[in-house]
């Protein structure tokens, strides 16, 4: 019974770790898949905590007792991971397409969401390292690498009698070498997967890019968001409207010269009129194509993530 519980915990932990790493591959899962996968990871985290509720209750009662130093470290690490998951889920819901909230500080919410994911992943790697013996032992039992039956040799004269077979005894030095190899192998796999996940997020430019255009000078750098298709179309429409106003003003000035001096000066909107702008994705896709992030809720044939906020 206890062994079955250990196996159940192992499978839940493996699914939780694997699914959490997949959350870092937004191009693979897409926005919708990322949100559903994140919600599933939250459910698995709650199940994991529920299965260990007895340990949590026991350690909480004796948290400051003598001889509980190691359990206090485990408790503190688990508490930080729980806080990390709460921050990830809350910020993820705020910026999700499920709620579709209108927020002005989208950049801050996304930054907190991503950095909390990085920190929580690091804490999980530390937790796996602290419980590496349990992970290696249960993995060996599940896949049969730790259950090798001893050879049995029958007596040549009496087939029912058994002949003792010498069994090699592992010394302490040999055990330490094997344990070190297992530890390094397990941590190498976990660390490599975590590094690849983090580097994938950074390479995909998932962090918001916010640039402010200059307030003076015609050669000031225009913000990346202002160069998006939506901002460019808006600027072009504004310039056309300004040209139409100028044409009407010239016609009125020709018909009524006396009233020409009373015309209000025309403001020419340029790219500098956009003081600040932010985009959630710098790719600027105008069709779904192969991008799984593409969302077009306003039906303007442009990806909402690349439009100016």
Per-residue pLDDT tens digits for 56-82: 999 999 888 887 888 999 999 999 999
Higher pLDDT, 215 or 302: 302
- The chain-wide mean pLDDT, for the chain, equals 76
Contacts of 125 (CB under 8 A, 6+ apart): 187, 190, 191, 194
Beta carbons of 224 and 282 less than 8 angstroms apart: yes
Q: Which residues, including other chains, have CB under 8 Å from residue 103's CB and lie 6 or more apart? A: 94, 95, 109
Q: What is the pLDDT of residue 83?
A: 97
As a whole number of angstroms, the distance between CA 178 and CA 241 comes to 77
Q: Give 278's strand partners.
A: 210
Mapped onto helix, strand or coil, the DSSP state of residue 99 is coil
Distance from C-alpha of 155 to C-alpha of 157, rounded to nearest angstrom: 6
Per residue in 262-294, pLDDT (tens digit) is 444 555 555 444 456 667 777 777 777 667 778
The more confident residue out of 295 and 208 is 295
Q: Which residue(s) pair with 153 in the sheet?
A: 163
The encoded tokens of residue 13 equal 């932990």
**Across residues 168-184, what is the average pLDDT?**
73
pLDDT greater than 70 at residue 212:
no
Of the ranges 29-38, 87-96, 196-205, which one carries the lowest mean pLDDT score?
196-205
Q: Kindly indicate the confidence band of residue 231, based on its pLDDT and cuts at 50, 70 and 90.
A: very low
Q: How far is CA 247 from the centre of its chain?
A: 53
Residue 70 burial class via C-beta count within 10 angstroms: exposed 0-12, middle 13-18, buried 19 and up? exposed
């Amino acid at each position: 019974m206890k062994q079955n519980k250990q196996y159940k915990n192992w499978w839940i932990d493996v699914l939780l770790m694997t699914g959490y790493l997949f959350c870092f591959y937004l191009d693979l899962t897409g926005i919708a898949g990322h949100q559903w996968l994140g919600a599933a990871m939250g459910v698995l985290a709650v199940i994991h905590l529920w299965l260990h509720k007895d340990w949590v209750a026991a350690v909480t009662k004796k948290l400051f007792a003598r001889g509980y130093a190691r359990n206090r470290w485990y408790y503190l690490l688990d508490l930080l991971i729980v806080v990390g998951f709460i921050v990830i889920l809350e910020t993820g819901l705020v910026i999700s397409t499920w709620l579709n909230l209108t927020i002005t500080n989208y950049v801050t919410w996304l930054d907190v969401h991503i950095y909390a994911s990085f920190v929580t992943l690091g804490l999980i790697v530390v937790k796996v390292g602290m419980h590496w013996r349990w992970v290696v032992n249960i993995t060996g039992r599940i896949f049969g690498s730790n259950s090798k039956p001893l050879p049995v040799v029958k007596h040549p004269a009496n087939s029912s009698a058994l002949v003792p077979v010498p069994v090699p005894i592992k010394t302490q030095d040999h055990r330490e070498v094997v344990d070190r190899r297992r530890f390094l192998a397990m941590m190498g796999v976990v660390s490599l997967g975590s590094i690849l996940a983090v580097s994938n997020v950074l390479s995909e430019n998932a962090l918001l890019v916010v640039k402010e255009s200059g307030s003076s000078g015609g050669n000031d750098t225009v913000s990346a968001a202002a160069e998006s298709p939506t901002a460019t179309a808006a600027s072009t429409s504004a310039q056309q409207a300004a040209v139409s106003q100028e044409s009407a003003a010239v016609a009125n000035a020709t018909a009524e010269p006396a009233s020409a001096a009373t015309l209000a000066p025309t403001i020419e909107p340029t790219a500098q009129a956009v003081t600040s702008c932010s985009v959630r994705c710098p790719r600027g896709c105008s069709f779904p194509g192969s991008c799984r992030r593409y969302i077009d809720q306003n039906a303007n044939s442009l990806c909402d993530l690349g439009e100016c906020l």
